[in-house]
Structure 1
């Protein structure tokens, strides 16, 4: 109903429309608060997940750094795993004499296009 039509109504009808409008506005506010609370709860859970993942990644970094420090102290081969994949330094020394092993391979020849 448009406000211009209200002039034709009596006071009781206008009050009734006003109450319905106020109830509608309250319901909208309640629904808005429910949605906001649900979003806040979701974000809190997400924050907890991110914090746990951050702690895990931080501990992985600490472990790798400890391994690197130990390898520098030992002077041996630098070898560690990240996510189950082995990774190692290109320079490998035999222990004791410090001679670098040559693990260089010739580049692969390009395949002819078919």
Structure 2
């Protein structure tokens, strides 16, 4: 069993039945993401401030400057590549669109939870 197995993973409410999605889970000091189709492939973990930057970048289509992962487009797919490991998470257009819509709606804003945990 890994640490990722114990996290409370969630997807955007805009995802189709929670399948084939960007999965997001708050951690003790940040947020982890993985692909629901390949959960054992690995996770990319963001410190809290880097997560907030990543969500802002993804929501606005801005260049990646969060220090943890870069986001690029390959055809209609979106690739989230870790800057610290060889891990790459590839999402199709529907998966990434659902994540971005959820991010824009504030579904992945864990700042209030961090305040409650202090």
Q: Which interval holds the TM-score relative to the shorter structure?
A: under 0.3
Q: Choose between structure 1 and 2 for higher RCO, CA contacts under 8 A separated by at least 6 residues.
A: 2
TM (norm. structure 1) is 0.20
More helix by share: 1
More strand by share: 2
